[in-house]
Amino acid sequence: AQSVTQPDIHITVSEGASLELRCNYSYGATPYLFWYVQSPGQGLQLLLKYFSGDTLVQGIKGFEAEFKRSQSSFNLRKPSVHWSDAAEYFCAVGASLSGNTGKLIFGQGTTLQVKP
Amino acid sequence: NAGVMQNPRHLVRRRGQEARLRCSPMKGHSHVYWYRQLPEEGLKFMVYLQKENIIDESGMPKERFSAEFPKEGPSILRIQQVVRGDSAAYFCASSPPGLRQETQYFGPGTRLLVL
């Protein structure tokens, strides 16, 4: 069965420091991979996505992620974190249904705190 | 282009009442997905609909929950005889038609509280 694991429930980094949020997936075929961000009381905003092609994808707000098939990972990175990046981050895999992304399977989420 | 709209944003129900959650997809989108987020958890898929069709309801509880996406009007997630365990945030997402890789865009959610 498809699954997504985000090993880190909470991460705290200092403003200006680099960030890496981990995501591992289990899926039999080529996955569609996503990172979403959720601020408190809000909906989910798409940061970036991987469907195929270049394994390093760029997203909004200075985020990037790298797909590593050999490690079944899709880690999210940012070189310098801003206080406004404090939020909850979700990794998701699209369970393909006849080419459409179908349902998304989400990880448990990682809460990011940013220290001044 | 307006985003995915959901209403109400907050809903309070007493045990045994019915809850109706509405979702209007983005313009031009004909695929709708419902997800539930329990406190301190990630989102869990419930159902995937296209106009007048349920495509995948593998995440829907077997009883009390139903969903529809009529030819005209919003998609509705209905919960009958609500219980306290139904308290959660319910998110709707939509994507364009066609058999292509498409991104799902999420609405702001409806936060249901069952007293």
Average pLDDT over residues B98-114: 84
From chain B, pick out residues whose CB is under 8 angstroms from the CB of A43. Answer: 4, 91, 106-109
Interface mutation vs chain A, best among B104, B111, B112, most A CBs within 10 Å: B104
* pLDDT surpasses 70 at A99: no
The pLDDT value given to residue B13: 98
C-alpha dihedral sign at A107, A109, A110, A114: positive
pLDDT at residue B49 is higher than 60: yes
Spatial separation of the C-alpha atoms in residues A108 and B39, rounded to whole Å: 11
Using a CB-CB cut-off of 8 Å, the residues of chain B touching A99 are 99-101
Strand, helix or coil for residue A86: coil
Q: Please state the rounded mean pLDDT for residues B47-63.
A: 91
- Tell me the average pLDDT of chain B: 92
Residue A97: the pLDDT is 52
Mean pLDDT of all residues in B79-87: 97
Integer angstrom CA distances of residue A75 from A5, A103, B76:
11, 21, 35
Q: How many CB atoms lie within 10 A of CB B1?
A: 6
**The pLDDT of residue A102:** 75
**Quick check: B101 and A103 CB within 8 A?**
no
Average pLDDT value over all residues in chain A: 90
